[in-house]
Amino acid sequence: MQTCIYLDNNATTKVDPEVVEAMLPYLTQYYGNPSSMHTFGGQVGKAVKQARQQVAALIGADDSEIVFTSCGTEGNNAAIRAALQAQPEKRHIVTTQVEHPAVLNVCKQLETQGYTVTYLSVNRQGQIDLDELSASMTGNTALVTIMYANNETGVVFPIEQIGLRVKEYGALFHVDAVQAVGKVPLNMKTSTVDLLTLSGHKLHAPKGIGALYVRRGVRFRPFLVGGHQERGRRAGTENVPGIIGLGKAAELAQTYIKDIKHEQQLRDRLEKTLLETIPDCEVNGERKNRLPNTTNIGFKYIEGEAILLSLNQYGICASSGSACTSGSLEPSHVLRSMGLPYTTLHGSIRFSLSRYTTAAEIDRVLEVMPLIVERLRALSPFNNDQADWLQGREVLVG
Ligand SMILES: Cc1ncc(COP(=O)(O)O)c(C=O)c1O
Ligand code: FES
């Protein structure tokens, strides 16, 4: 299979070889059911318990507060539904316009089921306004669900400041921390967060395993109903190898997170040099409060997809922070909410690094990007500021 310079780690990450090694015995030798009464199953149960402790340690939680799920999407669905079921008399939800579809589409569905949803706006930097949050809250607000860090721009929201405001109104606070866990130190013991979602495949564990943190004392109705697994909070025989892998990945992340500066330095060099060597480009989103591994850059007057295809020819994997995601012709809802001009919106690229990214890989990207942009701009009919008339077309593509 073809390998590449992989700068798409916010989409998914490589499974760490130590994670694979930890998982293997649970795919071969130890296949017992952790709920079984016999010793064979019991030893698997012990390994699951250890993995729970490893995940809890990464986010400063108690192991009884960790529920294993199948992915981040399930975690978000389960958290939102549980929070609403715990307070059936309240019918209002607050979220933001820039959430992942695994939150936004749940909220849209809830709107058809009698809930009212406030979608907080973001400014040009991708930040929300805390006063807009407070103004939107009422005694009827059951839940505030806001992401820790944005998957497209890496912009980090002030979660604890948000949480303090949420608590003033007695609502529950859910945080989609899928992009933050493993990149940002978290401590649930000193946090205002009630429910927090994480996903294995974003932190070098395999796909198909995640976890939901449920603060002790928060009433939680299971999303999947059936057997008594996960102390009755998530039915279904456990994905044991996945759980063991997530535990190992969490343990490795705890060590790695202390050294994340290295990754940040590579990201900063990539960003700074691209801005210096390529005219008419800018970073999308606030640069200060941001994940250390992510940069989203808008290259004016060209199409993001064309840049991606050219990068692909050089064996470089990145992602379009802008348009046509998954075959849809809609530009990114995140960048649109930030009010980016049409000319930047369509030419935005996300580079997301990992602990495996090397200086030599960054050098290669820095070598080819100016050539790609120059070639595409030479072909573009809109390669100057007169293209700003296109602004008026935003309505058409929106
Ligand atoms: C912010 C955020 N939330 C949720 C998800 C969904 O996670 P999963 O792919 O594990 O369902 C993602 C994955 O892209 C994400 O970036
Ligand atoms: S990038 Fe596809 S429509 Fe603009």
Phi, psi for residue 270 in degrees, rounded to 5 = -55, -50
User: Nearest ligand to the C-alpha of residue 326?
Assistant: 2
To the query of whether residue 324 is one of the catalytic residues in this protein, the response is yes
How many Å lie between the centroid of ligand 2 and the Cα of residue 305? 7
- pTM comes to 0.94
**Residues in CB range of 113: below 8 A, 6 or more apart:** none
Average pLDDT of span 74-92: 97
Q: 176 pairs with which residues across the strands? A: 147, 197
Q: What values do phi and psi take at 279, rounded to 5?
A: -70, 160
pLDDT by residue (tens digit) across 318-359?
A: 998 544 454 555 678 999 999 998 888 889 999 999 999 999
Q: Tens digits of per-residue pLDDT, 101-138?
A: 999 999 999 999 999 999 999 999 999 999 999 999 99
pLDDT above 50: residue 161: yes
Q: What is the mean pLDDT of the chain?
A: 93
Q: 34-48, 242-256, 274-288, 356-370 — which is least confidently predicted?
A: 34-48
pLDDT at residue 394 greater than cutoff 90 = no
Given 71, 281, 317, 324, the catalytic residue: 324
Q: Cα(177)–Cα(195) distance, rounded to whole angstroms? A: 10
Residue closest via CA to ligand 1's atom 16 equals 151
Fold match flag (17-256 vs 260-397):
no
- What are the structural domain ranges in the chain? 17-256, 260-397
Instruction: Say if residue 392's pLDDT is above 80.
Output: no
Question: b or e along 228-253 (b: 16 or more beta carbons within 10 Å of the residue's beta carbon)?
Answer: ebbeebbeeebbbbbbbbbbbbbbbb
- Cα 59 from Cα 184, distance rounded (Å): 10
353 three-state secondary structure:
coil
Taking only the tens place, the pLDDT of each residue in 201-240 is: 999 999 999 999 999 999 999 999 999 999 999 999 999 9
CATH of region 260-397, choose from 3.40.50.2000, 3.90.1150.10, 3.40.50.970, 3.40.50.10440: 3.90.1150.10
Tokens representing 236 are 């279904």
Output DSSP code: residue 388.
Answer: G
Ligand 1 pocket check for 243: Cβ under 6 Å:
no
CATH, range 17-256: 3.40.640.10
Residue 69, SS3 per DSSP: strand
